[in-house]
Amino acid sequence: MKPFPDFRSKTFLLGHMREIMDFYHPICLNTEDGGYYNEYRDDGFITDRKTQHLVSTTRFIFNYVTAAILFKRQDFAEAAAHGVRYLDEVHRDPEHGGYFWLMHGREVVDTTKHCYGHAFVLLAYASAMKAGIGGMAERVAETWGLLESRFWEPERELYKDEISRDWQTVSRYRGQNANMHMTEAMLAAYEATGEARYLDRAETLARRICVELAATAQGVVWEHYGEDWSVDWDYNKDDPKHLFRPYGYLPGHMTEWTKLLLILERYRASDWILPQAILLYETALAKSADLEFGGMHYSYGPDGKLYDLDKYHWVHCETVAAAAGLAERTGQERYWQDYDRLWRYSWRHLVDHDYGCWFRILSPDGVKQSDIKSPPGKTDYHPFGACYEILRVLGEAR
């Protein structure tokens, strides 16, 4: 096998981001219905030309605007604007407000209003604002208002998860995942606008999930809660591989929180942030490490038992970004050692060196689970975003 690249170098990180864009651009541009094609085989063949998921639309926008800024590519900016138009014109609910979860071309399939999806709407608009796409300041402010009026629970200082199209029926389920991605979106909105309310909200969400609720769940981030935000220890226990709400503790979300906490600390230092970021990271690696085959397992239960032993691409992406952040923040070489080790595993097993991008899921021993590289929702946003954040940590995102 060829020698490993220098995973800490700007040249490698930018090159890897270019390879990701080369896989999707320009074939992902849906010229029939607008927006983007969502599902791809390993070789890039489009296997579904109609499904358009809110998470895919918004993540493609994020990828495109980030690439437009980094690579100074006007065609990427135009591709981002193409996605913004579909988000505005097709995903947006013209009658009740908010954004539809799932489309078939330009027809609505699922009208549910998910907080998770709306977090990515805010992220997409904030990212597009950074790239100079017109009208985005208004969209960011409008989305803030929608979230305040429909999803925010001021007495809990957290966001509700799932609401019917007409906003009349609210699910009893509450989850940390939507609030985690809302933290990410609020940080992006703060970076785009400079308005303190977004940073205030990011700090509130991080403290509530990573400190106050964690204190009720063995000190770390649990995924699922009841309507009163009490821990639901059994949610989806019989479906541990649920796509959006898998059972148990997710080490990948703990390291993703580490990354977000370190971004928060850049803008607003607080004594609790670094210790909690380290605790989440160390717990995640201790619980998930595969000492036989390498890499990280996916989930474990309150009893410490592993529930899903598979290797998910996004877990490794978020963890290398977290490791880089901790290495830079603490000056400790051991985090760079984690970074290099997990990149080597990913480079050997998760990155597709024939066609580009990352395989979505591998078995514990490293065998890919499907020839569908990118189903709806993937877009390789995690490796793309991880490389971008590592560049920021290294002071090279310019």
Residue 364 pLDDT grade (very low, low, confident, very high; cuts 50, 70, 90): very high
- Taking the C-alpha atoms of residue 278 and residue 184, their distance in angstroms, rounded to an integer, is 18
**Picking from 11-15, 215-219, 236-240, which range would have the lowest pLDDT averaged per residue?**
236-240
Give me the mean pLDDT over the 343-353 stretch.
Answer: 98
Percent of the chain with pLDDT over 70: 99
pLDDT tens readout for residues 316-335: 999 999 999 999 999 999 99
Query: Among the options 16, 316, 349, 382, which is catalytic?
Result: 382
Residue 232 pLDDT grade (very low, low, confident, very high; cuts 50, 70, 90): very high
Give me the mean pLDDT over the 152-181 stretch.
Answer: 98
Give me the mean pLDDT over the 219-233 stretch.
Answer: 98
Mean pLDDT of the chain: 97
- Give me the helix-helix angle, 273-288 and 251-267, nearest 10°: 160
Closest CA to 292 of 361, 368, 364, 367: 364
Give me the mean pLDDT over the 295-324 stretch.
Answer: 97
Q: Say which DSSP state 231 is in.
A: B
Return the pLDDT at 240.
Answer: 87
Query: Among the options 16, 82, 181, 253, which is catalytic?
Result: 253
Residue 73 pLDDT grade (very low, low, confident, very high; cuts 50, 70, 90): very high
pTM for this structure? 0.98
- Taking the C-alpha atoms of residue 391 and residue 375, their distance in angstroms, rounded to an integer, is 27
Closest CA to 87 of 114, 52, 119: 52
- Taking the C-alpha atoms of residue 370 and residue 260, their distance in angstroms, rounded to an integer, is 30
Q: Say which DSSP state 296 is in.
A: B
Which residue carries 């389920």 as its tokens? 173
DSSP calls for 41-57: ETTS-EEESSEEEHHHH
Give me the mean pLDDT over the 74-90 stretch.
Answer: 98
Return the pLDDT at 1.
Answer: 58
Q: For residue 196, count CB atoms less than 10 angstroms from its CB and return exposed for 0-12, middle for 13-18, buried for 19 or more.
A: exposed
Return the pLDDT at 253.
Answer: 98
2 has pLDDT over 80: no
Q: Is 353 a catalytic residue?
A: no
Q: Is 253 a catalytic residue?
A: yes
Residue 3 pLDDT grade (very low, low, confident, very high; cuts 50, 70, 90): confident
Q: Under a CB-based contact definition with an 8 Å cutoff, are residues 143 and 72 in contact? A: no
Give me the mean pLDDT over the 220-227 stretch.
Answer: 98
- Taking the C-alpha atoms of residue 111 and residue 145, their distance in angstroms, rounded to an integer, is 20
- Taking the C-alpha atoms of residue 260 and residue 202, their distance in angstroms, rounded to an integer, is 9
Q: Domains for the chain: give ranges and CATH numbers.
A: 10-393 (1.50.10.10)
140 has pLDDT over 80: yes
pLDDT tens readout for residues 22-67: 999 999 999 999 999 999 999 999 999 999 999 999 999 999 999 9
pLDDT tens readout for residues 86-127: 999 999 999 999 999 999 999 999 999 999 999 999 999 999
Q: How far is CA 352 from CA 38, 310, 360, 382, in A?
A: 18, 17, 10, 15
Cβ-based neighbours of 142, under 8 Å, separated by 6 or more: none
241 has pLDDT over 90: no
Return the pLDDT at 243.
Answer: 80
